[in-house]
Amino acid sequence: MPVLVMKFGGTSVATLDRIKRAAKRVGVEVAKGYDVIVIVSAMSGKTNELVGWVNETSPLYDAREYDAVVSSGENVTAGLMALTMQEMDVPARSWQGWQVPLKTTSAHGAARIEEIPPDNINAKFGEGMRVAVVAGFQGVSPEGRITTLGRGGSDTTAVAFAAAFDAERCDIYTDVDGVYTTDPRVAPKARKLEKIAFEEMLELASLGAKVLQTRSVELAMRYNVRLRVLSSFEEQSDNAGTLVCAEEEIVENNVVSGVAYSRDEAKMTLISVADRPGIAANIFTALSEGGVLVDMIVQNISEEGRTDMTFSCPTDQVARAEAAMAKAKEDGIVNFAELIADVEVAKVSVVGIGMRSHTGVAAKMFQCLSADGINIKVITTSEIKISVLIERKYMELAVQALHDAFELDKAA
Amino acid sequence: MPVLVMKFGGTSVATLDRIKRAAKRVGVEVAKGYDVIVIVSAMSGKTNELVGWVNETSPLYDAREYDAVVSSGENVTAGLMALTMQEMDVPARSWQGWQVPLKTTSAHGAARIEEIPPDNINAKFGEGMRVAVVAGFQGVSPEGRITTLGRGGSDTTAVAFAAAFDAERCDIYTDVDGVYTTDPRVAPKARKLEKIAFEEMLELASLGAKVLQTRSVELAMRYNVRLRVLSSFEEQSDNAGTLVCAEEEIVENNVVSGVAYSRDEAKMTLISVADRPGIAANIFTALSEGGVLVDMIVQNISEEGRTDMTFSCPTDQVARAEAAMAKAKEDGIVNFAELIADVEVAKVSVVGIGMRSHTGVAAKMFQCLSADGINIKVITTSEIKISVLIERKYMELAVQALHDAFELDKAA
């Protein structure tokens, strides 16, 4: 029988009633003829409680014990979900990570999945079991200890299972009903996308449209796992939610698929840096060692052997960046006149696979912003997105204007 | 290094502060040179919460899923205890049942321990680990599924580990400070016993002095594991609590060690039963099949081929006993005139290893009760105890009088 993976997040299994509601959704797919692998998170709030206890007990905790403690919430949900399915007369059982076994690296707290042998679960499917409920977020290390995959790891668990079992699709049930062209709180005309390409989803996710964990989308793209994002709080038709899939599966699409934004950006400019080979490497090595997450990087026009170097980072890392640069100057690694921090900026991006084959997107974007009197401070581009830094007070205006300009409220 | 097993119950690990307090006790034993195996229960209330969820989800639950869910509380405590020990700079790690592995039968919800291979934990002790924190109450079945040992199973886990590791002693930390000559709420002169023999503890436990789970005492007796019961809420000296040990280790002892009682007893009398071979078997088979837990059995003097048969059972099983006997009469299996239920009785027992070699205990007991005008309704005896049924209203009086008569307030 074809296999379907269904993942339910913490809010979707927060109470016994919600577990029952989720189980009914699973029952619908079983009735269609699927063998279903259900991935569950901990009941919402439970993992935070456990993390709180660990932090209070041991601020610099042993990550192996952290994993042993915080993984327990998913085990509870898995057992309760299996029991709920059984009450509906659907043959089901629960699996903890080590029972599958979901093999991971030993990087406790942020382990990577290495292998999911499908034999044990397939044997049970062969015996008539219809639903395997698997505790998400956890695995087992080569040393036989429990590992966790890091926050949001249940999405990654779901995609990995879909790949290992060659599932027809991986449905991610969450508290939003899909992926939108932009944040509906900022642009009320935002429209739910029926389909979106993996690459676009990655750009939207890392730019702040936090529906799916980035790692899970990367994994889905690598193994071509069709992901569907949909709400567990609404009655679902067969085409509900948003399908995240390969570009080829999207027949018609707008040139631009979405507008993303990020509010807490800072623009940092190093004035009068010696313009010689290796200097950029020195700057960004110093920032990396200082723990600064650099996003955009722009090098301005050089003049008489000196140049200005601009980069952006989250506003809460400005102090760290300043300290790292001050130390680099003191150590004689980087020579510069001044470091100017502009913490009143935001990043706005337009994203779309269609940009690969259409010209004029950048021009249209800049014209649109200019028409509203919005000055662009920094520009960066990739194959499928264009990002700009602008004054933060214009952020909402920019998102709305771009959404209108690219007619994102209309389907292709 | 010598091994010590220390077990902490739910109230002893109910909060992070109490876990810290327990960890300090463990630290004291480590400082003395012991390698310590700590067995922990779930934080008090947690297991009940999980059991409640399972019952609400599925009244006739799959016991395998029940076990997967309810075992999670112990995992949390084990990890937190290991972290707490590490914070005290004591090398420690946690072990879940399947990691040891603690191998059990497949009788989910009431599994029996089959084997505890000590190799994994001993290897870690060899590498310098000083404390192995083990989640109590749980194990793994031959099928690789999580099992639980039934209520109070953490005591049994502790004793089994003490046997498997040839531990010097198994300390059971609980919310009482030891085993008393009787219930201090009934007889204020009750005295804490320094030592008590396994056999005496079994009689006291099954008679209502519920400090230790009966199974754990049986196991301790079989493997000669010295058990110490003591409070986790008091500062402890080296000789605190009560040592439950082999008879040979108790040099001086009173003839009688304790007075036990049970309040909710019913005396049932079958009047005019045909006195022929096989009739007792028929009666007690019928009761057993009716789910009645029969305690005492007495056959009265036979007269003209008819006899009276008396037995006792818990008061809440009287209706069940009456139904079973009515059915047996209807089916022609047992012929009797009448079944009289006396639900206003209590059982009082004196227990003591010393009875084996001392005569006159029964006489002294009956004289004592008689002196206070207490009529004895039924008497049964075993090698180390004498039990009587009396009118319930005299129960407290009888316990106090016997405690005085056998001078249990004075040490041997």
pLDDT digit string (tens) for A255-289?
Answer: 899 999 998 899 999 999 987 778 888 999 999 98
A51 touches chain B (CB under 8 A): no
Nearest to A201 by CA among A181, A187, A185, A186: A181
Q: Averaged over B248-252, what is the pLDDT?
A: 82
CA–CA separation, B260 and B348 (whole Å): 6
Which chain A residues touch B80 with a CB distance below 8 Å?
53-54, 57, 65, 69
| Strands A338-351 and A385-391, bridge-based pairing | antiparallel
Contact predicate B412/B358, CB 8 Å: no
Q: Is A387 helix (H, G, I), strand (E, B) or coil?
A: strand
Nearest to A350 by CA among A391, A412, A298, A400: A400
Which chain B residues touch A19 with a CB distance below 8 Å?
57
pTM of the predicted model as reported, rounded to 2 decimal places: 0.83
Contact predicate A209/A162, CB 8 Å: no
Reported as a pLDDT band with limits 50, 70 and 90, residue B291 is confident
pLDDT confidence of residue B209: 57
Phi (first) and psi of residue A223, to 5 degrees: -100, 10
Q: Is A173 helix (H, G, I), strand (E, B) or coil?
A: strand
B49 touches chain A (CB under 8 A): no
Alpha carbon B51 to chain centroid, angstroms: 22
User: Would you list the DSSP string of B9-78?
Assistant: -GGGGSSHHHHHHHHHHHHHHHHTT-EEEEEE-PPTTHHHHHHHHHHHH-TT--HHHHHHHHTHHHHHHH
CA–CA separation, B172 and A140 (whole Å): 32
CA angle in degrees (0–180, nearest 5) for B93-A10-A132: 80
Query: B161-170, B236-245, B250-259, B280-289 — which one is most confidently predicted on average?
Result: B161-170
- What confidence tens digit (pLDDT) does each residue in A289-307 have? 888 888 898 887 767 778 8
Instruction: Determine what percent of chain A is predicted with pLDDT higher than 90.
Output: 75
Q: Is B128 helix (H, G, I), strand (E, B) or coil?
A: coil
Q: What is the DSSP letter of B43?
A: P
CA–CA separation, A198 and A250 (whole Å): 11
Bridge partners of B299, per DSSP, are: B309
CATH 3.30.2130.10 domain position(s) in chain A: 259-405
B74 has pLDDT over 90: yes
pLDDT confidence of residue A239: 67
Contact predicate A327/A286, CB 8 Å: yes
Q: Averaged over A356-378, what is the pLDDT?
A: 91
| Strands A146-148 and A103-104, bridge-based pairing | unpaired
Nearest to B143 by CA among B101, B110, B181, B183: B101
Bridge partners of A269, per DSSP, are: A310, A340
CA–CA separation, B28 and B49 (whole Å): 33
Q: Which residue has the tokens 């005290």?
A: B88
Q: Which of A69, A127, A141 should one mutate to test binding to chain B, selecting the residue with the greatest count of B CBs within 10 A?
A: A69
- 8 Å CB contact of B144 and A50: no
- What confidence tens digit (pLDDT) does each residue in B4-13 have? 999 999 999 9
Q: Which of A40, A80, A129 should one mutate to test binding to chain B, selecting the residue with the greatest count of B CBs within 10 A?
A: A80
Phi (first) and psi of residue B16, to 5 degrees: -65, -35
Which chain B residues touch A73 with a CB distance below 8 Å?
72
Q: What is the CATH number of domain A3-175?
A: 3.40.1160.10
Structure tokens at B170: 């198994």
Reported as a pLDDT band with limits 50, 70 and 90, residue A204 is confident
Q: Is domain A259-405 given the CATH code 3.30.2130.10 in the classification?
A: yes
Preceding omega of B277 cis (within 30 degrees of 0): no
A237 has pLDDT over 80: no
Bridge partners of B139, per DSSP, are: B147
Question: Which chain B residue's Cα is nearest to A69?
Answer: B76
The ipTM assigned to this model is: 0.81
- What confidence tens digit (pLDDT) does each residue in A119-150 have? 999 999 999 999 999 999 999 999 999 999 98
CATH 3.40.1160.10 domain position(s) in chain B: 3-175
Alpha carbon B267 to chain centroid, angstroms: 24
A208 has pLDDT over 70: no
Structure tokens at A259: 């507008």
**β-sheet with A376-382: strand ranges across:** A297-299, A306-314, A258-274, A338-351, A385-391, A376-382
pLDDT confidence of residue A207: 60
pLDDT confidence of residue B2: 96
Least confident of A27-31, B115-119, B152-156: B152-156
B360 has pLDDT over 80: yes
Q: Averaged over B23-49, what is the pLDDT?
A: 96
Q: Which of B57, B61, B85 should one mutate to test binding to chain A, selecting the residue with the greatest count of A CBs within 10 A?
A: B57
- 8 Å CB contact of B50 and A76: yes
Q: What is the DSSP letter of A41?
A: -
Q: Which residue has the tokens 């001050």?
A: A326
Q: At what angle do helices A72-87 and A16-31 cross, to 10 degrees?
A: 60
Q: Is B197 helix (H, G, I), strand (E, B) or coil?
A: strand
CA–CA separation, A388 and A296 (whole Å): 9
B58 touches chain A (CB under 8 A): yes
Q: What is the DSSP letter of B111?
A: -
- What confidence tens digit (pLDDT) does each residue in A151-185 have? 679 999 999 999 999 999 999 998 888 899 998 88
Which chain A residues touch B62 with a CB distance below 8 Å?
82-83, 86, 93
Contact predicate A23/A16, CB 8 Å: no
| Strands A35-40 and A131-135, bridge-based pairing | parallel
Q: Averaged over B316-341, what is the pLDDT?
A: 93
- 8 Å CB contact of A66 and B79: yes
Candidate from A57, A72, A73 with C-beta closest to B16: A57
Q: At what angle do helices A72-87 and B72-87 cross, to 10 degrees?
A: 180
Structure tokens at A79: 């057992």
B146 touches chain A (CB under 8 A): yes
